[in-house]
Structure 1
Amino acid sequence: MTKTALITGASRGLGAALARALAPTHHIIAVAKTTGALEELDDQIKSVGGAATLAPMDITVDAAMQTLCRGIHDRWGSLDLWAHTAIHAAPLAPASMIDAKDMTKSVATNVTATTTLITYLAPLLGTKGTAMFFDDPQAGAPFYGSYGATKAAQIALARSWQAETARTGPNVHIATPKPMPTATRGRFHPGEDRAGLNDPMTEAARLIADLNL
């Protein structure tokens, strides 16, 4: 039976690379807000003989996530892998000048939605599934207040879940990807020479290999 992999934040960057890398061995359930980018990903997955289910959804919408998880349950009964790459990268700003709307969106996407997804996906992952989270340790860095604080909170949630399930499963894996030329990094480092950054597909393959799936 084909394994299943849910990628939240699958439309670009590391999420898209993970989806492509997993496509030969997993049916990809790709979640993102951008329909056009998901359709491009679908073409890439098909080109390597894989198959995908596209879910153009906003992870901050609770009803949408309920529908997604119910659909996974009804079709497959369980989930083998969840890779959570969705993130809101608020603009860099001094802590004293953080825009309230940016902080609200950062909390909703990076913290609240992650909490909701853990709650809904834990039963689908069961004792043998794997959840992947991706650290980006910017907490306390100058101008990273909104992103750094909410990303750190997301990883804190993942670490708590990891500790709680160490003996029972699912396997909760927290990785720190190497710098890649993604759109998120481009927002934080405009004008950066990207020649020395790591290729997302190479990095995706490394991260997957670390899981020993």
Structure 2
Amino acid sequence: MTKTALITGASRGLGAAMALALAPTHHIVAVAKTTGALEELDDRIKEAGGAATLAPMDIANDAAMQTLCRGIFDRWGSLDLWVHCAIHAAPLAPANMIGEKDMSKSIAGNVAATATLITYIAPLLGIDGQAVFLNDPVSGQPFYGAYGATKAAQIALAKSWQAETVKTGPKVHIATPNPMPTATRARFHPGEDRATLHDPTVEAKRILSEFGI
């Protein structure tokens, strides 16, 4: 029976690399807001001999996530793997100048949506499934207030879930990717020499191998 892997934030960067790395062994359920990028990913997965189900959805939309998870249950009954790559990257700003909209979207996308998804996805993973979260240790650094605080909160949720499921499953993993030339990082570091950064394809394979996936 083909394994299933849900990739939230699958359209670009590490999310797309994770989807492609898993495609030879898993049916990919690819979630992202950008339909065109998902279709490009689907083409690449098909070229590699894999198959995907595209879900152009916003993870902060509760009704959409309910529909997604119910659809996974109705079609497969369970889920083998969840890789959570979706992130809202608010513009860098001094702590006293963070826009209300930027903070609200950061909390909704990075914290509230993650908590909701854990609630919905945990039953699909059961005792044998696995989940992967991606840390970005920038909390407390200058100008990273909105992104850093909400990313840290997201990882705190993942760590709690990880500690709670040691004996019961699913297995919850937290990885810290090396810096990569992603669109998110380019917004934060526009003048950076991208040649010195790590290939997302290599990082995806390294992280999956680290957890025996």
TM over 0.5: yes
User: Where does the alignment leave 5 or more consecutive residues of structure 1 unmatched?
Assistant: none
Give the CA deviation at 1:96: 0.4
Spell out the pairing of 1:147-186 with structure 2 (5 A cutoff): 147-186=147-186
TM-score normalized by the length of structure 1: 0.99
Deviations 1:91-125 (Å, cap 9, x if unpaired)?
00000000000000000000000000000000000
Counterpart check, 1:135 vs 2:135: yes
Secondary structure at the aligned position of 1:121 is classed as: helix
Secondary structure at the aligned position of 2:7 is classed as: strand
Name 2:115's counterpart in structure 1: 115
Name 1:204's counterpart in structure 2: 204
Deviations 1:37-61 (Å, cap 9, x if unpaired)?
0000000000110000000000000
Name 1:49's counterpart in structure 2: 49
Instruction: State the alpha-carbon separation in 2 of the partners of residues 82 and 203 from structure 1.
Output: 17
Give the CA deviation at 1:87: 0.2
Name 1:11's counterpart in structure 2: 11
Counterpart check, 1:34 vs 2:34: yes
Deviation beyond 2 Å, 4+ runs, structure 1: none
Name 1:79's counterpart in structure 2: 79
Instruction: State the alpha-carbon separation in 1 of the partners of residues 22 and 10 from structure 2.
Output: 12
Give the CA deviation at 1:175: 0.2
> 2:128 is matched by which residue type in structure 1?
K
Deviations 1:117-153 (Å, cap 9, x if unpaired)?
0000000000000000000011100000000000000
Secondary structure at the aligned position of 1:54 is classed as: strand
Instruction: State the alpha-carbon separation in 1 of the partners of residues 112 and 49 from structure 2.
Output: 35
Give the CA deviation at 1:65: 0.2
Give the CA deviation at 1:211: 1.6
Percent pairwise identity: 77
Instruction: State the alpha-carbon separation in 2 of the partners of residues 155 and 211 from structure 1.
Output: 17
Name 2:103's counterpart in structure 1: 103
Instruction: State the alpha-carbon separation in 1 of the partners of residues 123 and 195 from structure 2.
Output: 42
> 1:3 is matched by which residue type in structure 2?
K
Give the CA deviation at 1:191: 1.2
Alpha carbon RMSD of aligned pairs, Å? 0.4
Deviations 1:146-171 (Å, cap 9, x if unpaired)?
00000000000000000000111000
Secondary structure at the aligned position of 1:205 is classed as: helix
Instruction: State the alpha-carbon separation in 1 of the partners of residues 212 and 163 from structure 2.
Output: 20
> 1:22 is matched by which residue type in structure 2?
L
Instruction: State the alpha-carbon separation in 1 of the partners of residues 31 and 174 from structure 2.
Output: 20
Name 1:91's counterpart in structure 2: 91
User: Where does the alignment leave 5 or more consecutive residues of structure 2 unmatched?
Assistant: none
Deviations 1:159-193 (Å, cap 9, x if unpaired)?
00000001110000000000000001001101110
